[in-house]
Amino acid sequence: MAGCLARGGPLSFCSGGARIAAVLVCALALPGVLPAGAAQSKAAPAHSHHAASKKKHRSVHRQVAPTPERITEIQSALAREGYYHGEPTGKWDAASTDAMRNFQQAKGLAPTGKIEALSLQKLGLGSPVAGMGAPAPAPPAAAAAPAASPAKKP
């Protein structure tokens, strides 16, 4: 135990809070080894407080698959641009993925073949602000107009 922070190891010169922290580090790093007078439950490991904490419920927004009508609209837009060939089916199949991938590559987007906001925007089907960051705040207004310079005397 010569290297233990709580038993005369590297932090033996510390006092107060730092020494207490060193004791806790030692106790957590070496299960079953605690300073004199400290008790540890044998039923739970040293880090059981992590397992015992309840997970916070977070609202997760899950993306919903597009409807067949929306897919037909996207296929029609890809056909209008010359990337989708054939009649729109309302099913996102290999031909749709290939058409989208080719469209994305031609427009300088990552060619994933997936229906994404920027791709829809470029097809004219998305929000005009899709994929853009929040607007920059307006610069503060000038405190006062610059004062006129005094007239020169002849």
Say if 4 falls within a structural domain. yes
Say if 139 falls within a structural domain. no
CA 38/CA 18 separation, integer angstroms: 18
Secondary structure letter of residue 106 according to DSSP = H
Say if 54 falls within a structural domain. no
Say if 72 falls within a structural domain. yes
- Give pLDDT < 50 ranges for the chain: 1-15, 20-30, 33-34, 41, 44, 47, 49
Please tell me whether residues 31 and 76 are part of one structural domain: no
Category of 29 on φ-ψ map: left (φ > 0), alpha (ψ -120 to 50) or beta: alpha
How many domains is the chain partitioned into structurally?
2
Say if 51 falls within a structural domain. no
* Residues 18-47 pLDDT 10s: 554 444 444 444 455 445 555 554 554 554
Place of tokens 């790093």: 29
Q: What is the pLDDT, as a whole number, of residue 124?
A: 93
pTM (whole model) above 0.95: no
